[in-house]
Structure 1
């Protein structure tokens, strides 16, 4: 492509995705936590395009809304009644100057290498992106002459047995001079009322009839240029994407117990000597500082984890900020607004929500701490709960530094427990406790010696 020839990119994203059997439009189906179309647009952003035209149809309002905040300028085009890929490109070309080179790609081919797109865009003639695959079922075949030049692209349902045996497939990605492409497409339009779709691939034969050479660019990564038409193909692309991410992370120094058992559905940033055990799921934006270890089966969503922290098995953290040298889990849950300061401890079956645990504070067993501030060095015994909700409003619990809360205690908010105060096990408190004081609400124990246990009634029969 000449340096002076503007590049325009047409993204075909109007398909309903019937084979997905989903109410969600196909291009919005998630891959690594993001819509398929988002991955395509990421790759397009690497090219020097003068315009990006996205052809939409089914659920187009929903598709547009999903990318309303995208910084990239997109020209959304309504395909209207769909009549095939040729019709979709025809609609896009109505918005593209004849002097431009147009690159056609697809919203359901999320992992296409940027190098493949660049190779197609760089030519001056018609360029077709091909892939050699072991199972070409479902794809158009590239038919070449004895010299290896492309003769035509044959759709599978119109291919002969010999043509179906060809393993060089059409990916659908094509680049051509826009003005010429308009003319070739117009000549390939099916007769009105005909049953045949308007195929973009027909322009290959039309270009050859005009004496125009058609170049083939063969992808070096065939698996990444295949489209997603059903959930099995989506799952295959998901595994390839996760493997690529895991490989990149390991090369950057992240230790993975098993790279095949990691799922990243967002952004993961990590420092030195971080390690993830098997079946860890990363969602949203997760930051791990140096020397963080994540145990098996953990889920982290929109979290920041401080240096030297250990997250034990099967813990779920969402919207949490965890300070240095803390210990979390196993089986702990940190909900949005949870903040753990340096050296805090949260143990098994403890839930923290919109609450701060000060430096060195401990909640090691079976507790709920919500809408609270727990002072440095405080200890919450097993079964401690902050009763923060009265049925209409949330209320705060304040627990002072080095306070000791006995097991099986209910703190009815709003309430303040002073520094170094002690609450006896089994208490339910609704009044503040002064610093250094002991508070308890247990009834005095009563013991009855030689208590006769109830006995089962004898069987009347």
Structure 2
């Protein structure tokens, strides 16, 4: 979702320098994923959707991978390093030079809050447009705990923010809490940050002190509020799972409102970019990885896994099907149980209903792939393609050794290993001639049974 064109230019400073020790993971915290997308990318998505002309990501020297990730998406100039870490105010100051030539509003967000989307942040800019010099996003916490508290006057006028470690008993009773998201004019923000000190329990430079200083200057400081679930951060594996659950629930509900049938929605796992058209049915226990689109009328049956694939109108997928990146399933095509498709374009009305692997190539319209068929696409070093023509019939348990082409309307005999192209309309059989030895099985059993009886008689003596 993109917010309407802003009246003033906007920039975003995304704080991504936290060490994330509570994650207890070799992966930096903000590179963990919700809905298959890193926490950092969710924050960048929100900034882009807000119409931010400039985005600066503040990273720590301890996690170079975060900087690499941000630079890959936004470019070298978008990344600044906070070293050493001395608090959130100090982190925002690290972005001062990068925004020195910017004239407009700056919003500060956190890279570990994947549910803070553009619509959640947007009310801060409404406050700015109505005259607030500094706008802060708050929420009412069920358990305020370690959150900073918003000290308010009537009309959501924000007097100051008190960090939990510096709060007295009366302040701890306040349930209006700070999300950390703040918006202000760029020049004003950095001017005030220059006055922030570190006379606090942690000896850090707090971004939250901006509010008290601004209020002391008789500037307008206001708060907007969001639902607690919309601003929850991620600091542990449990909180990562909780954020995932919230994201999934929201997206499932949105799909059902749009006309997607989910008989057991809590069992369906979606990716950040999953596209499912109205009129699609998704049965229980289906997993969508990134890069999937499903056209109207399709049915995704239970226990299927899709990633990097497109599914055409009216197609039937599963149960227990796997579509891997590059799978393109045409309209009314069938990909059945225990069929895996990777980088294959399957034509309209084609069928592969049972126990097959289709990797690298094409399957023509209305072709039929028999049970147990595999595309032998890899020789241990390189990949090769298999092309099955329109209306072709591939007999069960066929191995098509790439590179190979099966012509339109051609057939292969069951159990064949096809290593050469098959002309249009031809039948290819590549298996040994069957030999029948009459009474061989009867004689074999008689000999075996006699030996067994003799051995049993010997053991009984």
The answer as to 2:34 corresponding to 1:20 is no
Asked if the contact 1:25–1:59 (Cα under 8 Å) also holds between the matched residues in 2, the reply is no
Among 408, 421, 425, which residue is 1:416 paired with? 421
Residue 359 of structure 1 pairs with residue 326 of structure 2: no
Q: What residue in structure 2 maps to residue 251 of structure 1?
A: 257
CA shift digits 1:281-318 (9 cap, x unpaired): 22233232332111012112222222221112110011
Unpaired runs of 5+ residues, structure 1, are 389-394, 430-439
- Confirm whether residue 306 of structure 1 aligns to residue 320 of structure 2: no
Q: Is the aligned partner of 1:369 residue 2:383? A: no
Change (3 A) 1:58 1:460: farther
Measured at CA, do residues 43 and 72 of structure 1 come closer, stay the same or move farther in structure 2, by a change above 3 Å?
Answer: farther
The alpha-carbon distance between structure 1 residues 119 and 74, as it changes in their structure 2 partners (threshold 3 A), is: farther
- 1:105 to partner: Cα distance: 1.3
The whole-number CA distance in structure 2 between the counterparts of 1:418 and 1:145 is 83
Query: Aligned match of 1:153 in 154, 161, 168?
Result: 161
Report the Cα distance in structure 2 between the residues aligned to 1:7 and 1:358, rounded to whole angstroms.
50
8 Å CA contact 1:125–1:214 kept in 2: the answer is yes
From 187, 190, 193, the counterpart of 2:195: 187
> Cα deviation per residue 1:426-456 (whole Å; 9 max; x = unaligned)?
xxx4xxxxxxxxxx42252212254424233
Comparing 369-378 with 90-99, which one deviates more in the overlay? 90-99
Q: CA deviation at 1:77?
A: 1.3
Q: Does 1:142 align with 2:150?
A: yes
1:119 aligns with 2:123: yes
Aligned to 1:163: 171
**1:170 to partner: Cα distance:** 0.7
The C-alpha deviation readout for 1:145-188, integer Å capped at 9, x for no partner, is 69975443222233334433322111011223444444543333
Partner secondary structure for residue 89 of structure 1: helix
Structure-2 change in CA distance of 1:315 and 1:157 (3 Å): same
The alpha-carbon distance between structure 1 residues 4 and 73, as it changes in their structure 2 partners (threshold 3 A), is farther
Give 1:43's aligned residue.
46
Contact in 1 for aligned 2:156/2:224 (Cα 8 Å): no
Residue matched to 2:394: 380
Pair 1:289 & 2:292 matched:
no
In the TM superposition, what is the alpha-carbon distance from 1:83 to its structure 2 partner? 0.9
Q: 1:263-274 maps to which residues of 2 (within 5 A)?
A: 263-274=269-280
Change (3 A) 1:100 1:416: closer
The reply on whether 1:441 has 2:432 as its aligned counterpart is yes
The 3 A distance-change label for structure 1 pair 350 and 143 is same
Distance 1:342 1:180 in 2: 60
Cα displacement (A) at 1:329: 0.9
1:319-354 per-position Cα deviation (integer Å, ceiling 9, x unaligned): 112222221111211112x12223221122211111
- Runs (5+) with no aligned partner, structure 2: 1-5, 377-384
Residues 258, 278 of structure 2: 8 Å contact kept: no
Displacement after TM superposition at 1:94 (Å): 3.9
| Cα distance, 1:327–1:287 mapped onto 2, change above 3 Å | same
Where 1:417 maps in the other structure, the secondary structure is: coil
Q: Is the partner of 1:256 in helix, strand or coil?
A: coil
SS of match in other structure, 1:170: strand
SS of the residue aligned with 1:284? coil
Alignment deviations for residues 387-408 of structure 1 (CA, whole Å, 9 cap, x no partner)? x3xxxxxx41233344443333
* Separation in 2, partners of 1:148, 1:281: 43
Mark the CA change 1:107 to 1:249 in structure 2 (over 3 Å): closer, same or farther: same
2:205 alignment counterpart: 198
Provide the residue aligned with 2:379 in structure 1. Answer: none
Give distance in 1, aligned partners of 2:300 and 2:433: 40
1:72 Cα shift? 8.7
More helix by share: 2
TM-score normalized with structure 2 length: 0.83
Q: Is the 8 A contact 2:362 2:386 kept in 1?
A: yes
RMSD: 3.0
Gap change, CA 1:152 and 1:269, over 3 Å in 2: closer
1:210 match: 217
Relative distance call for 1:102 and 1:303 in structure 2 (3 A) is closer
Is the contact made by 2:70 and 2:79 (CA closer than 8 Å) also made in structure 1?
Answer: no
Q: CA deviation at 1:421?
A: 3.9
